[in-house]
Structure 1
Amino acid sequence: MELLVGILVKVLLFAVIAGLFTLVITMSVRGRRQEARIRNEWEQIAQIAPERGWTYHPCTRGQIDQYGGMGPILYKGENQAAWHYTTGEFRGRPFTYFEYRYKRSTVDGDVNDFGEHRRLVIKAVFIITAPGSGSYMEILRRSKLGAVLDGRPGKRVGVPEFDKEFKVLVKDEDFFQNALSGGVVPFMLADHRAKKSPLRFRDNELITWYTGALSPQTVDEKLNYLCDVLDRIPAQAWTAA
């Protein structure tokens, strides 16, 4: 009996080691495939800009300093780097998009000089010029984690489905009322892009972002989404701001 138990223990131990070994190989293969896919998409990003008459810079510094400390661009500072920095015109509106990168502490990842594990985080940011200047306003998806990190309740628009799904942070009541008095609310409730595209109004700009690398598909998706939102904001929202 003891011999049988010993054999079973050895078999189970071998199975665990083999499983872990297989998992490591699988994760490594997936990582290499993902890295290859991202690099291929970066190459496409560099190609589509001149094809569409846009201006592209692999990396530039100082162009995004004014956005520091807000949303995806966590840190304030001078000469901040922006990768794949692209400008041009989309559906008749000036735009900018780029990648913002920083490292955060994790249980794994690269180790810095202080022995801390740091993992690279990429944020893809898209900015469209609005018809006029407006006040600060953010429309964010409600989540349990967001409620913990940001306790601000936000303004309610009076549409239960929207107020349950989204949180609106504002500084100016008039701009809030005017901007959301048109078709923005029903549009966001019906459009799947709204669930993964936070919005920020900043002066004469409308901004969205996501965590991850740029790709040709997301460029068209996000720029179209920003234009679709602006198309549904009443003209008086800008004249009143």
Structure 2
Amino acid sequence: METVVGILPKVFLFAFVVGMFALVIRAFVRSGKEDKRIRQGWADLSRVAAEHDWAYEQRARGRATEYCGVGPMPGSGSNPSAWHYITGEFRGRSFKCYEYRYSNPLSGSSGVGESKKLTIESIFLVSAPSSGPFLQIGRPSKLDAVLGRRPRMLLGVPEFDENFRIVTDSEDFAHGILSDPLQAFLLSDSRAQKSPLRMRDDELFTWYTGTLSPQGVEERLDYLCDVLDRIPAQLWATT
């Protein structure tokens, strides 16, 4: 008859195996729920677009090409598709949004024939009153210098310079855009902590890693319009 000392390791091993199975099952359940949520969001996009009289294409081949070099987009591409491509008008401004998809070469496959993990970036742009020089406002990172990124511009406002990194082709333009109302807005609004801004020609961009959903579209378009509302109107007349 086995002693207690002999039985305990078997009990612990059994409990460990049962626990691992439970973790795997929970992971599959969570993954299934997340997949269902994402697919429901995609399905809702066409309905919401129709309700707002926006144009919607599930896949617009080559339409992402013109935005190469912006945010997470590659510097160049061979007719990249814009997935769930939506265009229309929001708060009196024309807009576009879409998903850009690519396979991350650093992720995924552990064996021959296995596919790499798909990365999805959601990109939003709203028309500005006029064109302006290149300007990007985002969060500073310790990797900026390591990755050889362009030198940042300091606004001269300690709290803002600590929380944001400005890169621009025109410091005068950046000072004009970042007036006191916009500075205060970016420092106080939680969306600014996770939504970088990029000015290119007459369009203002933001983006995030993840899929499009009706809620995400409205939130980011609202954010871009809130930013544009706080830029002095006279600035556009001088660009």
TM-score (norm 1): 0.91
Q: Which amino acid aligns with 2:203?
A: E
> Which 4+ runs in 1 deviate beyond 6 A?
none
Q: Which residue of the partner structure matches residue 72 of structure 1?
A: 72
Q: What does residue range 54-93 of structure 1 map to in structure 2 within 5 Å? A: 54-74=54-74, 76-93=76-93
User: Is the CA contact (8 Å cut-off) linking 2:123 and 2:205 kept in structure 1?
Assistant: yes
Bigger drift between 220-229 and 173-182 goes to 173-182
User: Is the CA contact (8 Å cut-off) linking 2:61 and 2:81 kept in structure 1?
Assistant: yes
The correspondence for 1:187, drawn from 171, 179, 185, is 185
- CA-based RMSD of the aligned residues comes to 2.1
Q: What does residue range 127-146 of structure 1 map to in structure 2 within 5 Å? A: 127-144=125-142
Question: How far did 1:143 drift?
Answer: 3.6
Bigger drift between 86-95 and 177-186 goes to 177-186
The correspondence for 2:223, drawn from 219, 222, 225, is 225
Q: Which residue of the partner structure matches residue 165 of structure 2?
A: 167
- Alpha carbons of structure 1 residues 14 and 118: separation in structure 2 relative to 1, 3 Å: same
Q: Which amino acid aligns with 2:97?
A: Y
- Alpha carbons of structure 1 residues 105 and 20: separation in structure 2 relative to 1, 3 Å: farther
Q: Which amino acid aligns with 1:97?
A: C
Q: Which amino acid aligns with 1:231?
A: D
Q: Matched residues, percent identical?
A: 49
Question: How far did 1:12 drift?
Answer: 1.8
Structure 2 distance, partners of 1:223, 1:104, is: 27
Q: Which residue of the partner structure matches residue 211 of structure 1?
A: 209
Bigger drift between 58-67 and 136-145 goes to 136-145
Q: Which residue of the partner structure matches residue 239 of structure 1?
A: 237
Gaps of 5+ in 1: none
Q: What's the CA shift string for 1:17-75, capped at 9, x where partnerless?
A: 11111111101000010000111111111101111111000101121212113321125
Q: What does residue range 28-107 of structure 1 map to in structure 2 within 5 Å? A: 28-74=28-74, 76-106=76-106
User: Is the CA contact (8 Å cut-off) linking 2:70 and 2:198 kept in structure 1?
Assistant: no
Structure 2 distance, partners of 1:82, 1:28, is: 29
User: Is the CA contact (8 Å cut-off) linking 1:134 and 1:237 kept in structure 2?
Assistant: no
Q: Which residue of the partner structure matches residue 152 of structure 2?
A: 154
Structure whose residues are more often strand by fraction: 1
Q: Which residue of the partner structure matches residue 21 of structure 1?
A: 21
Q: Which residue of the partner structure matches residue 123 of structure 1?
A: 121
Structure 1 distance, partners of 2:108, 2:49, is: 35
- Alpha carbons of structure 1 residues 109 and 44: separation in structure 2 relative to 1, 3 Å: farther
Gaps of 5+ in 2: none
User: Is the CA contact (8 Å cut-off) linking 2:153 and 2:171 kept in structure 1?
Assistant: no
Structure 1 distance, partners of 2:110, 2:95, is: 34
Question: How far did 1:147 drift?
Answer: 6.0
Structure 2 distance, partners of 1:34, 1:146, is: 33
- Alpha carbons of structure 1 residues 107 and 82: separation in structure 2 relative to 1, 3 Å: closer
- Alpha carbons of structure 1 residues 109 and 46: separation in structure 2 relative to 1, 3 Å: farther
